[in-house]
Structure 1
Amino acid sequence: MDPATQDADPAAIPSNSSLRNRLMEVSFQINDLYAQIERLEAERKSIATALDTIVYPILSLPVDITTEIFAHYFDDLLDDGGKLQIPVFNLERARHAGPLCLSHVCRAWRSIAVQMPSLWNRIRATSLQKNPPGPDWRKLLDCWLSRTGSHMLYLDFVGSQHRDVQTRLLFPSIASYSPRWRVLGCHLNTPILFPIDTIRGRIPLLRELDVRRQDIDAPGDAVTAFSEAPELRKVQLWHLPPDSISLPWAQLTNLTLFGQSIACAIDVLHQTPNLVELSLDLRQRPGEAPPTPVILHHVRKLSLPNAFQRFSKFLHYLTLPRLTTFDIRSSSPAQDDDVAAVLALFRLSHCVVESVVCGGRYEDMALSTLAMTDMARTVTLHANWFQSALSKLFVRIATNPTFLPNLETLYLPDCETGIPFAEIADMLSARWYNRGTELRLKTFHLIRKAGCVDHIPDASVVAKFRALMDDGVDIRIETATKHTFESSYYLRQVSMLTRA
């Protein structure tokens, strides 16, 4: 006998009959629940049948029209250069990616989306995980690539935390598709631990190449995989010395060199006579010999994307006689020698700069640049300035007819400060009504960045804007509202003028 029950009260021990009765009660309850489940299953089946008979308006569209809608949706995810603005192939959350977002709506949409290769051929992978990627990532990529049909591939693998591991892991999957590569962005840290040379001579459609390395001073392997690329026109090299990669330099029309030494970069530019667009962020290595100056007869656009570096150290090696667009992003206060270097470039090149793009925190370099480009017709400002600095610029344009005298278009696509509505209205009025036979300021677009609140302009200011718009001035003053979910965001522009 169990010692624990040895001294138990006999009245507390259930009898055989009570246990049998309780077992019967439990069995009846279970049977009732099974019966209820059967009734619910039958009801669910009838509801599903009724839903299947409903023809939703969106599903009544012909497949070709739905396909066109899907294509337009995907086009909205692309920037001006055709690159994806968001990672549609997110290695942790692929269910939130562009085409998968469509395929999760219903079976009909999934069937259409899976059979549209144009939804799957642009892959921008990203991962912010602390742990290195695993084999599941390659399986996911293989599945994705299998849906691309015969379309050209746009592959971007430069946005992840474990860039070198990711490229090494995923390269075997994308290598077999190299005859269809159109765009490729990847990291090639040293040493290169995967057989990249297997694609040599097998990239007939590659048009754009973005290759990055973390440490430019590390001894690197010579890269010859891209030496035979008949369609290659645009190349970006980040911290990868140009002399360590073999490319068809003479056929390039667009080149970005970031973090290169001045001497090495200028030497390579002697091999690129057909460049149309050039972007430089160079540094001077101690003890390097000065290079031979170069004349690039076809360059129309020069970009200096990171003015932390002293571009006065290398601009005097360049002559650009056909330069028409100058893009400078100033991340530090202007230095006299930098301003002088820009002016010398313009004068020695005898170029006519018609479009200027300025950006950065400090307005002095931008204002100095604008003062040098009196032939500029289009100005774009990516300016993180104080409102007072913007006001001074608008007042200067309004009151000084010799400052940007040929200005026709003024863009501020990502304004981060308060909007000086009154100064804008006065500037537009002065450059529209008081110009006589001179060129007028015809277009003004300002988009306020998301998350910023502005006051509504006074009624008198709105009246000025309305009068200018009625007379033909293209005015757009808008704010952008950001909607964020997972890795995606979209901008909805709302006109401030219509709110008054």
Structure 2
Amino acid sequence: MLASLEADRCRILNLESQILELQQAILTLETEQDVVQSRLDGYKYPVLTLPNEIISEIFLWFIPSYPSPPPLAGSTSPTSLTHVCRRWREIAIAIPQLWRAVEFTDIIPLEQQEHLGALWIDRSKLFPVSVRLCTSVGSLPALSALVPYMPRCEHLTLSFDTLRMEYSSMPLLRDLSVDVKRTCSLSARLVFQDTPKLRRVVLGSFVIGRIDLPWAQLTSLSLNQAFVSESEIILRQTPRLVYLAVDFIMISSDSDSVYPDILLLDLQTCLLHSELGVPYPEFFCSLVAPSLRRLELSGGFVEEDDCIDSLKSFISKSGCEISHLLIAGQYDVGEAYLQAFPSIPVFCEG
């Protein structure tokens, strides 16, 4: 019994000695830990030493140039900048230019689009905004979140299945693009009248003829897959055009049609394309554009037998001095234009 007690006393002394050694080792490790942590705490990553103004400028280079929108979500979205650290989040949220361009697509869920779209435009403060709606009919409820911000809309692109929506006053709108799918059925005309700053418009084929715009104030107009009759009606209402691009759709028409003159006194650039078989030289000759400098022709028009004569008649009638003539067609067709207009710089594309 006494021998057993003596053994336990020796064991206790041995354990106490080991505990002291371990405690000393822990103390040494904790001291080293404090030293290493102090070095880490004292180090600042170079990017974090930059002033907020420089970081803000870097953030603005992270996104596409306005009015092109970055994606609402993902690694290239400005939202990703808010996830790096608290300072970056505060800086990013405080930059209204970072959030002023929004695009709705079908890539992310409707609820997320609605939330993020309203959040972004709210962060843009009082800046004019750019909105792209390239989405399906199922996503249209998301547009309700944008209604309070439409008076700040400067650039608007609409491309989806249906246009059953109301457009509020947009006094800052300068740039409008509207297109719908072939299956779209418009129950009423689209009206964009309260837009005093609107200057540039791009229209798709199923919108042309079913939209009311302040035509007289436009300076740039693009019509995609347009009928000659629709184009004529519109161009008689756009006397201030500086830029015109028309893609004529294939139709059956009377080649002997006579069109009254259409005066486009400020027009400087004109791009015309037609499908094969579209006889519109008569319509082209009805244009009077004395300020025209750049003319580009392609498609069926340049392959018409009387196109060169029509072009000569147009130039003579308008009294314009063309400095750039682009002919896009077959190579032998381009050669004919080179010979017909030796004094005009002609560029040919096959």
Instruction: Tell me the TM-score normalized by structure 2.
Output: 0.75
Match of 1:183 in 2: 155
Match of 1:316 in 2: 285
Quote how far apart the aligned CAs of 1:189 are: 4.8
The 3 A distance-change label for structure 1 pair 367 and 63 is farther
Deviations 1:245-267 (A, max 9, x none): 12111111111111222112111
Match of 1:262 in 2: 228
Is 2:143 the partner of 1:171? Answer: yes
Is 2:320 the partner of 1:347? Answer: no
Separation (CA, whole Å) in 1 of partners of 2:266 and 2:153: 27
Separation (CA, whole Å) in 2 of partners of 1:45 and 1:186: 59
Is 2:294 the partner of 1:325? Answer: yes
Separation (CA, whole Å) in 1 of partners of 2:340 and 2:38: 73
Aligned counterpart for 1:208 among listed residues 155, 172, 175 = 175
The 3 A distance-change label for structure 1 pair 215 and 103 is same
The 3 A distance-change label for structure 1 pair 165 and 339 is farther
AA of the residue aligned to 2:42: T
State the Cα RMSD in Å: 3.7
Is 2:119 the partner of 1:143? Answer: yes
Deviations 1:406-443 (A, max 9, x none): xxxxxxxxxxxxxxxxxxxxxxxxxxxxxxxxxxxxxx
Match of 2:49 in 1: 60
Is 2:240 the partner of 1:274? Answer: yes
Conserved 8 A contact 1:258-1:281:
yes
Conserved 8 A contact 1:241-1:260:
no
Quote how far apart the aligned CAs of 1:153 are: 0.6
Is 2:198 the partner of 1:232? Answer: yes
Is 2:214 the partner of 1:245? Answer: no
Separation (CA, whole Å) in 2 of partners of 1:295 and 1:46: 82
Query: Percent of aligned pairs with the same residue?
Result: 26
AA of the residue aligned to 1:298: D
Deviates more, 1:317-326 or 1:267-276: 317-326
Separation (CA, whole Å) in 2 of partners of 1:316 and 1:149: 49
The 3 A distance-change label for structure 1 pair 309 and 89 is farther
Match of 1:88 in 2: 70
Aligned counterpart for 2:189 among listed residues 212, 217, 222 = 222
Conserved 8 A contact 2:251-2:278:
no
Aligned counterpart for 2:271 among listed residues 293, 303, 319 = 303
Structure ranking higher on relative contact order (CA contacts 8 Å, 6+ apart)? 2
Quote how far apart the aligned CAs of 1:47 are: 7.2
Match of 1:114 in 2: 93
Match of 2:58 in 1: 69
Conserved 8 A contact 2:250-2:274:
no
Q: How many residues align?
A: 317
The 3 A distance-change label for structure 1 pair 52 and 106 is farther
Instruction: Tell me the TM-score normalized by structure 1.
Output: 0.55
Separation (CA, whole Å) in 2 of partners of 1:328 and 1:52: 67
Quote how far apart the aligned CAs of 1:70 are: 2.9
Conserved 8 A contact 1:275-1:298:
yes
Conserved 8 A contact 2:227-2:251:
yes
Q: Which runs of 5+ in 1 are unaligned?
A: 1-42, 386-500
After superposition, where does 1:461-476 map in structure 2 within 5 Å? Answer: none
Deviations 1:369-427 (A, max 9, x none): 566665556x888x6x6xxxxxxxxxxxxxxxxxxxxxxxxxxxxxxxxxxxxxxxxxx
Conserved 8 A contact 1:312-1:341:
no
The 3 A distance-change label for structure 1 pair 106 and 279 is same
Based on CA coordinates, which of the two structures has the bigger radius of gyration? Answer: 2
Quote how far apart the aligned CAs of 1:296 are: 0.9
Separation (CA, whole Å) in 2 of partners of 1:358 and 1:125: 37
Quote how far apart the aligned CAs of 1:357 are: 5.2
Match of 1:487 in 2: none
The 3 A distance-change label for structure 1 pair 338 and 244 is same
Separation (CA, whole Å) in 2 of partners of 1:143 and 1:338: 54
